Amino acid sequence: MMFTSTINLLQTLCLSAGVHAEIMQSEATKTLCGLLQMLVESGMTDKTSSPNRLVYREQHRSWCTLGFVQSIALTLQVCGALSSLQWITLLMKVVEGHAPFTATSLQRQILAVHLLQAVLPSWDKTERARDMKCLVEKLFDFLGSLLTMCSSDVPLLRGEWPSPFPVPW
């Protein structure tokens, strides 16, 4: 019962922060987003079996998912905290797909792109210009390598891929 109550309190705190971040202290918002980042990263990447890591992984699996994090990315303050270097690094790792390809990993990649789409507009163009340049380069590198891998796809080579603009004859 105490465990469930604590989880419910954390979820409520996160949702409240997502809605009312403009009246919260910025350090509190950053701390909360740091906690979420730790849970998400541990749940997705850490395979050690220490008791703490097992709890983190269970928290990620049960409630602290990328979809939940995206649902609280409502205000500029939360989006700013969710676009820290640690978050962007984690999301780019997910998008680049270093994990074995499965339906779950594809869904996770899509959620990571959606979260990036939600938080990146919070970046100040003058302060984060170098970060933007680096991120755009990484995304284009990833897309280029993805297109290179797709160029050997059998349906594409045979010309069987349906055209997005069918030509009526």
Mean pLDDT of 48-62: 84
Angle between helices 103-119 and 85-96 (to 10 degrees): 140
CA distances to 98, 142, 145, 160 from 153, in Å: 20, 17, 13, 11
Which residues fall within 8 angstroms of residue 69, CB to CB, at 6 or more apart?
36, 40, 82, 115
Average pLDDT, the chain: 86
Q: Which amino acid is at 46?
A: D
| pTM metric for this prediction | 0.81
| 150 has a pLDDT exceeding 80 | no
Q: Which pair of tokens denotes residue 48? A: 């050690």
61-104 pLDDT, tens per residue? 889 999 999 999 999 999 999 999 999 999 999 998 876 778 88
Q: Is 80 exceeded by the pLDDT of residue 135? A: yes
- 52 vs 11, residue with greater confidence: 11
- Tens-place pLDDT, residues 109-118: 999 999 999 9
Residue 119: is its pLDDT beyond 90?
Answer: yes
Distance CA(136)–CA(117), nearest Å, equals 13
The more confident residue out of 123 and 45 is 123
Dihedral sign for Cα atoms in the order 17, 18, 23, 26: positive
